[in-house]
Structure 1
Amino acid sequence: MVANFCDVCGSLLNPATGRCPRCFSGPSRPSPPKTARSSQSIAKQGHGLFPYEPRPFQLEIVDAIRNALDSGKHIIMESGTGTGKTVCSLVGTLEHSRPRKKKIIYLTRTVSQSDQVMKELRTIARNNKITGIAVAGRMKSCLLQKQEGMRDVPPAVMARICEDRKARTIANERGGCPYYADFLAIGELAFTQHCFANLPTVGEFDRFCEKQGACPYEARKAIMPMAEIIAVPYIHLLSEDIRNNLFDRLKLEGGDFTVIVDEAHNLIDAARDQESFSISVFDLDSVLVEIREMGNSFLKNHISIQDVCLVLKEIIETAVKELIPARANDARLGRRFLEGRLRQELGLSGEDLDNLCFSMIDRGEKILEDRMDSGKEPVSHILRLGSNLRSWIASSDSIYLKTISADSGGMLVAACLEPNEIAQFLKGTGGAVHMSGTLKPLRQYADLLELTPISELREFPSPFPSTNRLTLYTEDVSAGQREMKEDPSMKARIESYIIDICNATDRNTMVFFRSYEMLKSMRYSIETEIDRKLYWEESGNSYKLANAIEAFKTHKDGVFFTVMGGKIAEGLDFPGQELDIAVIVGIPYPPPTLVGEELKRRYDQKYGPGTGWEYVSAAPAVRKMQQALGRLIRTETDKGAAVILDSRVSRYCSQLDAKPTKDPVKDITDFLGWSRRF
């Protein structure tokens, strides 16, 4: 008898059923719905995995992805609304990866994006055997955290708690984790079968595990090595520690996987944020409180942790007073500023300073262990300070901009300028897919990640009729800070435009401001003059925002006020009559910062004069406007109109497909075929 093995996990198949007893893969799948094209029909075009009747450009995108990956290149692509980026990237990458037995790591910025991945996998799976899982971090999935109120515990500390609780569970000791115990009792097979049979979203899988009383995080860890496609948040690749743990669990090396980066325009900023760090007066005060509770410790040359904190506080507070100019919030620091001051004040050599940091880290780790053993909250501010101080000393001035900030009572900030860690990782993958609906200029993305020599840049337009969207801009107002300051009447004229447009119809309208400050400054006038149901995005209240969005979508007669670059402007869909008109107030240029100015200088020097402004200011602003405009047309039958209240947008007409207007209300109502309300 010839043995048959599962081509997903390698286990021996059940000869009676042909199914895998470990991962539940098998030959049978539910019949495809009527909306899906038959696998035989698509197979004639060589794309047996593609589950739909293809729209224009979709199979071209699949081919472009597969061909680029086959040649060891990175494909960096912008594809418009309706091109089906998720399903095209999955199919194209599968066509490359499957013959090579490579896993696919799909990077997403939000849980809702990973949900879309799983939904597309379900569609593909109707005609083809496919296995995948959407991964969430411990902080989102740990039932113990929810039960014991440990939501504010740092991730590294929670990992230590988890390992300790699991060890106690395995040893049958008190203080173990009941959810891990139930996971062990049920066994990983049940969870693997459920996952591969249903391809659940993050929330669906969490709820399934919770009903069993089992830990979703541990269940995912067990399933991941057997999955063909793993959808993970950005942090799983941006954090070196998390990435190493992920790859160890998956048993992956350089050529064993292919990466898809979704919403790639966010990746570089996310990488910079991940590699940046700070030391604040607030942090130091927390260390002093910990010292009073846990005791002081001497580190080197009779210097104590308390001594280090007090010296650091004095250095920071003095720098805030002496170095930050009037009406500014921060200032650049000279090379080795902090190291020089610490060595001078504490009488240490460079080697002594390194050893002092390691001693603080050792003391902090001991405090963690003691607090865990005594059942207290497992956190150590000393550990964090020692780690950040060590990182500051080790960081290169060629990669980081070091500043003093007045925030948090005074703060030393090491801002990453060049995210070399993720750039080096991506260059070693042998090719990846980087995609977004708003990624131009593509050369910028390739340049900043040092992928230009090994990348292919592609643009794919939306298959939806361009005539379905009208984009206008006014020539007599500008919402720039300088222009509004020079002309006191400008604010009232912009408000008048907003009020007239919103009162002209009873169709869902969304107003996008360049900043929360501008939104707040105009709110009173707008609220008193617009005769519609009004909704407002208020930062920091996710539950209230979700309810407002749902009400806006449901009633279809309101006006929603939000900001460009916010939660609504990117990632949310408003198909059909859920959104008909968009008003954009101002161009969302990033505010001037020391980091931005340094990046402009470096880019001008490295890529040519003017490149700095294009990369740091113009491109991000246009991208945010494109994202806001993209909310209008989400299906091939949608029709919508937009007005940009800023004459400066004339320089971006070709990118935004915008034309001037003298009467936006008339042009909008004529285009949409409506009569005015008033």
Structure 2
Amino acid sequence: MTTDVVRISVKNLVEYTLRSGDIDTRFVGTSRAVEGTRIHQKLQKAGGDKYLAEAQLKYEMNYKEFLFLVEGRADGIIIEDPQVVIDEIKTTAVPLERIDENFNPLHWAQAKCYGLIYGEQNDVEQLEIQLTYYNIDTDEIKRIRETVTLQELQTFFCGLLDIYLVWAKHLKEWNEMRDSSIKKLNFPFATYRQGQRELAVSVYKIISDNKKLFVQAPTGIGKTISTLFPAVKAMGENKTSKIFYLTAKTITRQVAEEAVNAMRECGLDFKSITITAKDKICFQEKAICNPDHCKYAKGHFDRVNDAIMDIFLKERAFTREVIEAYSREHMVCPFELSLDLSMWADCIICDYNYVFDPRVYLKRFFQTSQGDYTFLIDEAHNLVDRAREMFSAELTKSSFLKVKNLFKGHSIGKTLGKINTVMLGMRKECSEEGYYTQLQQPEEIYPLLWTFVNKAPALLTDNHKTEGYDALLELYFNVLIFLKMVELYDDHYITYVEKSSSEVTLKLFCLDPSKLLGEAVKRGKSSVFFSATLAPLDYFCEILGGETVDAKIAFPSPFKTENLCLLVADQISTKFKDRESSYGEIAHYIHLVIQQKTGNYLIFFPSYHYMQEVHHVFAELYPDTETMIQTNVMSEEERESFLDRFQPNRNRMLAGFCVLGGIFSEGIDLKGDKLLGTVIIGVGLPQICIERNLIMEHFKKKNELGYEYAYMYPGMNKVLQAAGRVIRSEEDKGVVLLIDARFSSYYYKKLFPAHWRYPKEVRNGSKLNALIQSFWDK
């Protein structure tokens, strides 16, 4: 009896066995993201009652030593009694007279696979396979049909499986080797830290039960290995088929790579891939993917399977460096290679986008049905605002006017002129505050946007680098993204229009991402959301798409509370109206903190302006103290140079002035004497703006926690992250001074983590001096 199971979608099977030629993303077919869906629906509706649209098909077939589980979704099945027609719809910008039955073998192959599945399951001995081509420029339709027998389809399908068997056998051998090593794998460190075993057990149980878990685990527990290790063990027990480790920052992706390597050093055979953004990994100066511009795009599909086989047989860790090396050797696109390799990896380390963003998520995994995947979502507090960005879209009047002026005399220019006129009308509706909102969608502009989308391909198809081409292409995709978000719009959204000088911005703004995030995690079977600052847990559980039945767990800090000197200077107000009068006093308090022990300190401010003003005063009062200051635009090299200055040095005082919620307030690891303390000015409230106020109003109506959800909780999260830079290991000791009167209020104290429960309040410099001196003298 066959026990080795191969799960694959029809699309992936066809592409991996039959693809060839170049990568060519010149305009032909790039509109399919949104417009293709719309055209599919239009043609499917026109088919009438006899047209079964979006038919889900699943098929099990024992073939040689494998059980193949193949699934897909046919665009249409037409019952023309007694004939059955399998319809595959393709949108194209290619003139229809250039399309014949030999135009694209992959189109036929996909439709034939659907025909086989339907024929086998319904005892249909003969079917019609139909390709329907829809030209997006002319709205013309061309249909090509071929009559095939079930036996012919069986022969064709087995031919595909014979090609794929090479891969299947390698995967079988690999999975046996991997699972054997997992069974022998022990935790890669000599002992568990406090809370670590409990966290690992909780993660394993959640994966086993196909559920969700929300974890607040302070720095020091070892969250990365405590989630990855049980996930790997669960994979060895066939409780999950693939692990997605999702992060917001490059540094946390590196930590995940190190955790996997630690398990490899203990005998684990495991393949992991780190997906790097296209613009970063592309070998060209500009990521233009066509054979005329890029030698790696030319013939890519003729060579990529050999590249995959080579790297799969030789490597365990598909890191950026490894992928780049094999891409150069085999002359293939590194980004496309990494996406293909993700199919063969056991663990995918990548940005949130690849699972959650409706514009770029990995359709090869998530388009057909739910997979038995595990999502490990690191630094999950960052996902709230990231999700709002992913699910929102905006258009600006100036972008339409610019392209209109570039295409005067063309019919598209008239359409753009009408859009510009509508947005001018919106401008007049704005209040004295410069904006207006509405709960309903701006439907009056949609027909014009669709007209633009229909006309643009004719100007883009030939890829002529005429003046205005890039501007038109950028606008075209922005409109497509906007129309994609229209499909998601519901009572979790609001429409707002903002005017600024001559500019008008129209935005579909996602106020509450919980519903869409909840739907996204259903693409897998289990999810673990974790962070050192996932507090309050109930808030994060709700806003990240959790449900009341989901598990929540909060761990205490594993470090000795006496190693942290937590002080609150609550006689100073840092509210906006009081800031100017606070510069000198804050500079004095900073100096009092850092003078007690020579070393490195970070000072965090709620804004760049506040930081710069206090820095100016501090530099004048204490010129002997070396300072650095964060700028609002820093290159990777400048960031590294800033952090490199934080080296243990008992002969030098260094104060780094930074912004709360910025690049230095989370994700950096300055252990030991690299950092002796932080001073945090203010409660971290996000800047007051239209969007924050809209969020506040939404949740005020929903649960009467508008201010908390929009301002207080996100602000306190930034404070906790910045304070978390100080104690990074059991040996670390350090000072955290919180400066703001609000920190002593009940509402903020209840947000303090357990190891912050008893902060010392200081109301004058001498008390601060004495407390810090006493702390360092212990």
Give 2:436's aligned amino acid: R
Greater CA deviation, 492-501 or 73-82?
492-501
Determine if contact 1:278/1:411 at 8 Å carries over to the other structure: yes
Which one has more relative contact order, counting CA pairs under 8 Å at least 6 apart? 1
What's the TM-score, normalizing by structure 1? 0.79
**Aligned residues of 1:576 and 1:635 also touching (Cα < 8 A):** yes
Q: CA deviation at 1:262?
A: 0.8
Aligned to 1:497: 589
CA deviation after TM superposition for structure 1 residue 406, in Å: 3.4
| Partner residue, 1:633 | 727
Instruction: Find 1:535's aligned residue among 619, 628, 639.
Output: 628
- Aligned positions of 1:35-74 closer than 5 A: 48-74=186-212
**Where does residue 31 of structure 2 map in the other structure?**
none
Q: 1:286 to 1:385 in 2, by over 3 A?
A: farther
- Per-residue CA deviations over 1:150-179 (Å, capped at 9, x if unaligned) read 4xxxxxxxxxx53x43xx89xxxx977369
Which residue, 118, 141, 144 being the options, matches 2:281? 141
SS of 1:406's partner is strand
**Secondary structure in structure 2 of the residue aligned to 1:560:** strand
1:470-499 deviations in Å (ceiling 9; x for gaps): 110113212122444xxx643322222123
- After superposition, the Cα gap between the structure-2 partners of 1:176 and 1:430, relative to the gap in structure 1 and judged at 3 Å, is closer
Letter in 2 for 1:613: Y
Distance 2:541 2:305 in 1: 49
Match of 1:426 among 489, 509, 521: 521
Q: Aligned to 1:628, what secondary structure does the other structure show?
A: helix
Aligned to 1:283: 399
Counterpart in the other structure of 2:605: 513
Q: Structure 1 pair 397/318, CA: closer, same or farther in 2 (3 Å)?
A: farther
1:405-438 deviation digits (Å, cap 9, x = unpaired): 2348232222111223222122453331110010
Closer, same or farther: CA 336–461 of 1 in aligned 2, 3 Å: closer
How many angstroms does 1:521 deviate by? 2.1
| 1:81 partner letter | T
1:370 aligns with 2:468: no
- Name stretches of at least 5 consecutive residues in structure 1 with no aligned partner: 13-19, 33-38, 151-160, 343-352
Tell me the residue number matched to 1:399: 492
Q: Is the 8 A contact 1:405 1:412 kept in 2?
A: yes
Partner of 1:473: 568
Structure 2 residues without counterparts, runs of 5 or longer: 9-62, 66-168
Matched, 1:177 2:297: yes
Q: How far does the alpha carbon of each residue in 1:295-352 deviate from its partner, in whole angstroms, 9 at most, with x for none?
A: 5216xxxx922432430352254345xx232xxxx42234558545x6xxxxxxxxxx
The residue aligned with 1:660 is: 761
Q: Equivalents in 2 of 1:578, 1:208: separation in Å?
A: 38
Residue 598 of structure 1 and its aligned partner are, at CA, apart by 3.2
After superposition, where does 1:157-556 map in structure 2 within 5 Å?
A: 161-162=288-289, 164-165=290-291, 177=297, 180=300, 184=304, 187-196=307-316, 199=317, 201-203=319-321, 205-206=323-324, 209-210=327-328, 214-247=332-365, 253-292=369-408, 296-297=410-411, 304-319=414-429, 323-325=431-433, 330-334=434-438, 338-340=442-444, 354=447, 356-371=448-463, 380-384=473-477, 386-387=479-480, 390=483, 396=489, 398-407=491-500, 409-419=503-513, 420-427=515-522, 429-484=524-579, 489-530=581-622, 531-542=624-635, 543-553=637-647
1:252 and 1:122 map into 2 onto residues whose CA distance is: 32
Q: Return closer, same or farther for 1:60/1:185 CA change in 2, 3 Å cut-off.
A: closer
Q: For the residues of structure 2 that align with 1:637 and 1:244, how far apart are their CA atoms?
A: 42
Q: Please tell me whether residue 606 in structure 1 is matched to residue 702 in structure 2.
A: yes
The residue number in structure 1 matching 2:23 is: none
TM-aligned CA distance change 1:339 to 1:533, over 3 Å: same
Larger radius of gyration: 2
Match of 1:623 in 2: 717
Contact 1:272 1:418 in 2 (8 A): yes
Correspondence 1:94 to 2:232: yes
Deviation at 1:550, TM superposition (A): 1.2
Take 1:659 and 1:246, find their aligned partners in 2: how far apart are those partners? Answer: 54
TM-score normalised over the length of structure 2: 0.70
SS at match of 1:282: helix
Could you tell me how far 1:74 is from its partner in structure 2?
A: 0.6
Kindly, what percent of the aligned residue pairs are identical?
20
Count residues in correspondence. 602
Instruction: Report the residue type matching 2:688 in the other structure.
Output: P
The Cα of 1:277 is off from its aligned counterpart by 1.5
- Give the corresponding residue for 1:17: none
Cα deviation for residue 208 of structure 1 reads 6.1
- When residues 56 and 512 of structure 1 are mapped into structure 2, their CA distance, relative to the original with a 3 A threshold, is same
Secondary structure at 2:407 match in 1: helix
Deviations, residues 212-245 of structure 1 (Å, cap 9, x unaligned): 7653223323321111111121111222242252
d(CA) in 2 for partners of 1:208, 1:670: 58
Letter in 1 for 2:657: F
**Alignment partner of 1:112 is 2:251:** yes
Q: Does the CA-based 8 Å contact 2:375-2:527 persist in structure 1?
A: yes
Structure 1 pair 410–222 and aligned structure 2 pair: CA distance change class (3 A): closer
1:559 aligns with: 655
Q: Please report the RMSD computed on the Cα atoms of aligned residues, expressed in angstroms.
A: 3.7
Q: Tell me, in whole angstroms, the C-alpha distance in 1 between the residues paired with 2:471 and 2:3.
A: 49
Q: Helix, strand or coil: the match of 2:461?
A: helix
